[in-house]
Amino acid sequence: MDKRGITVCLVDDDALVLRAAGRLLSGEGWRVEKFCDPRAFLIYAKTHQPRVAIIDIIMPIMNGLEVQRRLRNISPLTQVIVLTSKDDPLVRSEAFEAGAAAFFLKPAADIIFLQQIETAAASGNC
**In the chain, what are the domain boundaries?**
7-112
**How far is 22 from 20, CA to CA, in rounded Å?**
5
Alpha helices in the chain (DSSP H): 15-27, 38-48, 64-74, 89-97, 110-123
Percent of the chain with pLDDT over 90: 81
**pLDDT, mean of residues 79-89:** 92
Measured CA distances, 25 to 5, 13, 70, 75 (Å): 13, 18, 24, 22
Q: Domain spanning 7-112: which CATH class is it, in words? A: alpha beta
* Predicted TM-score of the model (pTM): 0.92
Supply the mean pLDDT for the chain: 92
pLDDT digits over 23-47, tens only? 999 999 999 999 999 999 999 999 9
pLDDT at 126: 41
SS3 assignment, position 60: coil
Neighbours of 48 (CB within 10 A): 14
What does the pLDDT average to over 57-73?
A: 95
